[in-house]
Amino acid sequence: MEVTVNGEVRVLRADMNVADLVERTWGRAVAVARNGEVISRAAWAATPVEPGDEIEIVRPIQGG
């Protein structure tokens, strides 16, 4: 299936959830939004990635 991740179209397997996507590529120290809605880490495994989804994955940055 095709989804957009951080503005880039990617082809993923059909049975992926948000936890699979994040752990496969970015590790755990990130925040995730699916179609404009932030997803809590506790909900990642229960949140499917569906064709046409727009996923944003960001890492926190320290500043000072």
Q: 19 to each of 34, 37, 49, 63, 64, how far by Cα in Å? A: 12, 15, 9, 27, 31
Angle, CA 18 vertex, CA 58 and CA 48 arms, to 5°: 140
Domain locations in the chain as residue ranges: 2-58
Which of these, 46, 27, 33, 38, lies nearest to 3 by C-alpha position?
33
CA dist 12 and 29 (Å) reads 21
pLDDT at 23: 83
pLDDT at 62: 73
* CATH match of 2-58 with 3.10.20.30: yes
> Which pLDDT tens digit goes with each residue over 5-54?
999 999 999 999 999 988 877 777 899 999 999 999 999 999 999 999 99
pTM of the predicted structure, to 2 decimals: 0.76
